[in-house]
Amino acid sequence: MTSIQHNLQQLRQRIRAAATQCGRDPEEVTLLAVSKTKPASAVREAIAAGQLAFGENYVQEGVEKIEALAAHPEVQWHFIGPLQSNKSRLVAEHFAWCHTVDRLKIAQRLSDQRPASLPPLNVLIQVNISDENSKSGIMLEALPELAQQVAALPRLRLRGLMAIPAPESDHSRQLAVCQQMADAFRQLKQHYPDVDTLSLGMSDDMEAAIEAGSTMVRIGTAIFGARDAARNPQQ
């Protein structure tokens, strides 16, 4: 067993334990393997271990991996980094999901640039739940208007919400923030039938996110090891 296979096995057990502890079905929680700065060979190892959903933060790097692993059409690629307007076409043409829609301009470009030969692009609206200047995302009060605009675009499919809460070591405080996101997610589901995804939780707050209702956790280092800073590409 490779280290990546072992790490995935450990993480799946951790997800099962977290879900079971709060009375949820572990199958409700998808593990998104964050493969940024990691080579295609590492992703290939994860695929061999049964991992089929991968998240990329940098557009060009992600596209290169998607093309290198084209022999695996079963793999689902998620763009999870900040998206600049001049990179939107690459995301629209190559990825199945975009987690970081936070303004109408980007959503409109993604819809206009999504090829007709592909299914609509699955999108999540990013919420800046901790109100951090350094992070992308909208405030919760702006969500209803943007959701309505995104849902009306023909080549997008609004699937839910994403957030990156500020680091917090205390479980109860982690849970309080995650529950704010879960409440917004439940309200959104009432208005849009396709909404089914809350992308929330990373290595340090995964248990709190799952307890609150996250349906997708984004884990990188715990699967692939420490990031290689030398391979940290630009968008």
CB 202 within 8 A of CB 218: yes
**Which has more pLDDT, 5 or 231?**
5
Provide the residue range defining the domain that includes 114: 3-226
What is d(CA 54, CA 44) in angstroms, rounded to the nearest whole number? 11
Rounded mean pLDDT, 52-78? 98
Q: Which two tokens stand for residue 16?
A: 């099962």
- Asked whether residue 63 is domain-assigned, the answer is yes
Cβ neighbourhood burial of 51 (10 Å; 0-12, 13-18, 19+): buried
Quick one: pLDDT at residue 106? Answer: 98
Quick one: pLDDT at residue 228? Answer: 65
Q: Is the pLDDT of residue 232 over 90?
A: no
pLDDT one-digit tens code per residue, 5-51: 999 999 999 999 999 999 999 999 999 999 999 999 999 999 999 99
Which residue type, as a one-letter code, is found at position 30? T
Q: Is the pLDDT of residue 235 over 60?
A: no
pLDDT one-digit tens code per residue, 89-114: 999 999 999 999 999 999 999 999 99
Number of H helices, E strands in the chain: 9, 8
- Asked whether residue 231 is domain-assigned, the answer is no
- Asked whether residue 106 is domain-assigned, the answer is yes
**What's the CATH code of the domain at 26?**
3.20.20.10
CB-CB neighbours of 152 under 10 Å: 11
- Asked whether residue 67 is domain-assigned, the answer is yes
Place of tokens 């849009």: 192
Mean pLDDT, all residues of the chain: 95
- Asked whether residue 8 is domain-assigned, the answer is yes
- Asked whether residue 160 is domain-assigned, the answer is yes
- Asked whether residue 155 is domain-assigned, the answer is yes
Q: Which two tokens stand for residue 57?
A: 């933060």
Structurally, the chain folds into a number of domains equal to: 1
Contacts of 37 (CB under 8 A, 6+ apart): 61, 227, 228, 229, 231, 232, 233
CB 40 within 8 A of CB 68: yes
What is d(CA 171, CA 118) in angstroms, rounded to the nearest whole number? 41
- Asked whether residue 233 is domain-assigned, the answer is no
Q: Is the pLDDT of residue 231 over 90?
A: no
Q: Whole-structure pTM over 0.85, yes or no?
A: yes
The radius of gyration computed from the CA coordinates of the chain, to the nearest angstrom, equals 17
pLDDT one-digit tens code per residue, 161-197: 999 999 999 999 999 999 999 999 999 999 999 999 9
The dihedral of CA 126, 132, 138, 143: what is its sign? positive
Quick one: pLDDT at residue 53? Answer: 98
